Amino acid sequence: MSASCGAPPGRSASVWPVNDARVLRFPDGFRWGAATSAHQVEGGNTRNDWWRFEATPGAIRGGRGSGDACRHYERFEEDFDLAAADGHTAHRLSLEWSRLEPEPGRFDPAEVAHYHAVLGALRARGMEPVVTLHHFTNPLWIADRGGWESRETIDRFVAFARFCAAEFGAEVDWWCTVNEPEVFAFRGWAEGVWPPAVRDRSRALVVIAHQLEAHGRAYRAIHEADRVDADGDGHAARVGFAKHHVQLEALRAWHPLDRLVAHFERRVFNEAVERAAVDGRIALEIPCARAVRRDVPELKGALDWFGLNYYTRWRVQAFAEPPHVATPGAPVNDLGWEVWPDGLRRALHAAGRTGAPVLVTENGVADAHDALRPRAIVEFAEAMHRAIAEGVPVRGYLHWSLLDNFEWADGWHGRFGLYGVDERDPGAPRVRRRSAEVFARLARANAVTPDVREAAGLA
């Protein structure tokens, strides 16, 4: 993705080419694409902690683990053909650490060659790779040495990032170090529904801190190792991370405890993580947990771009189960998450306050019947357009997901794909949904047009 993608920071819509009142144009060079992660689509990742966790009775909704997933490991060229035909110009993916480094310090030449082929296939189709180095999975040898509670893992991850930058730098300019450190930590170490299935908030805060420190150190390592300009635009590595920004609001605005809990959750889940990569100060504090405070010099200013993952708004209710609920009466997806497009605009403003250009690295709707997704794609795009017009420097949008895939503890229940996949027969042809056509028209036009709205049923 070229550094020139999108309008310069602070540039308003009024200085773009004049819009037809019915057309919302995006800046020249804006990138459109979709996202995946290795474990969720490849299949056969037998050497990581998620594969082992999936064998735990009751761990996965519906009881079906990742297994062969989408067989994307074998079918990546077919899948990229679909995306390219739909006008995608970027694609986010992850490199599976447990494949590349199955044992400490030993890198598998066959797997290295495989990922070169994957990245080359994207480049050949005119799609910019946005590469994530840690998307929730760990090699078993990392998990069995203490995982992300251990400081050794920081060192190991930085070494892995350095290797990848040196090995794949000729094909990759856009690097994402870690994905959603706060989600990773809370799901695995506070709620205990992801590996390693711990229920201890204090340990969860340590994991967030370690992932943030790892990002800061990996940022420096990648810049040292990857000095190749894959795009030929005069810029080498650009490094960021992906942050899940969930909107957290009191269920009962009049209730002081609802407001207080929502405040604490926003502070640790959103604000502290976003701020840490700006000022280098990790300050994580929530009730009933040991605070973590740490200054990390390598973390200060460690953002060439900010990756925003946005899905929903949660209403917070204090001392109640469940602690988070959708707004009463609001449309919800198949996982019970509120579909609230204006939340994307608000989240983009929060991301923009880091001072870094913003890339929407995930946004989508779990919708097996494709009933909500076509309209939501357009409404999310309109919200993003408003944020850009208000001065947020957004460079591109990557829809979650290209394919239906294994959705972690939710198994195969959450269907996010522009293309449907039958997990019982992942070798079968992909099923193109109406939402894929809506997204294709949006990407090709680089605008919300009457044609796009009509395809989404919004004319």
Report residue 454: phi and psi, to 5°.
-65, -45
Report residue 248: phi and psi, to 5°.
-120, 115
Residues 6+ apart with CB under 8 A from 16: 7, 25, 27
pLDDT of residue 21: 62
Strand partners for 175: 131, 239
Please write the tens of the pLDDT for every residue from 130-170: 999 999 999 999 999 999 999 999 999 999 999 999 999 99
Domains and CATH numbers, the chain: 13-455 (3.20.20.80)
Distance, CA of 421 to CA of 415 (rounded, Å): 9
Specify whether the CB–CB gap between 87 and 444 falls below 8 A: yes
Strand partners for 24: 448
Nearest to 222 by CA among 236, 232, 235, 233: 236
Specify whether the CB–CB gap between 1 and 91 falls below 8 A: no
Residues 6+ apart with CB under 8 A from 47: 98, 99, 102, 139, 140
Specify whether the CB–CB gap between 1 and 31 falls below 8 A: yes
Catalytic residues: 180
Report residue 265: phi and psi, to 5°.
-65, -40
Please write the tens of the pLDDT for every residue from 297-343: 999 999 999 999 999 999 999 989 999 999 999 999 999 999 999 99
Please write the tens of the pLDDT for every residue from 249-259: 999 999 999 99
In the Cβ-directed half-sphere of 51, how many Cα atoms lie within 13 Å?
A: 19
pLDDT of residue 5: 40
Strand partners for 139: 48
Distance, CA of 388 to CA of 53 (rounded, Å): 41
pLDDT of residue 10: 36
pTM of the complete model: 0.95
The 3-class SS string of the chain reads: CCCCCCCCCCCCHHHCCCCCCCCEECCCCCEEEEECCHHHHCCCCCCEHHHHHCCCCCCCHHHCCCCCCCCHHHHHHHHHHHHHHCCCCEEEEECCHHHHCCECCECCHHHHHHHHHHHHHHHHCCCEEEEEEECCCCEHHHHCCCHHHCHHHHHHHHHHHHHHHHHHCCCCCEEEEEECHHHHHHHHHCCCCCCCCCCCHHHHHHHHHHHHHHHHHHHHHHHHHCCCCCCCCCCCCEEEEEEECCEEEECCCCCHHHHHHHHHHHHHHHHHHHHHHHHCEEEECCCCCCCEEEECHHHCCCCCEEEEECCCEEEECCCCCCCEECCCCCCECCCCCECCCHHHHHHHHHHHCCCCCEEEEECCCCCCCCCCHHHHHHHHHHHHHHHHHCCCCEEEEEEECCECCCCHHHCCCCCCCCEECCCCCCCCCCEECHHHHHHHHHHHHCEECHHHHHHCCCC
**Which tokens hold the place of 372?**
């909500």
Q: Which residues of the chain have pLDDT under 50?
A: 2-19
Report residue 238: phi and psi, to 5°.
-120, 130
Distance, CA of 449 to CA of 455 (rounded, Å): 10
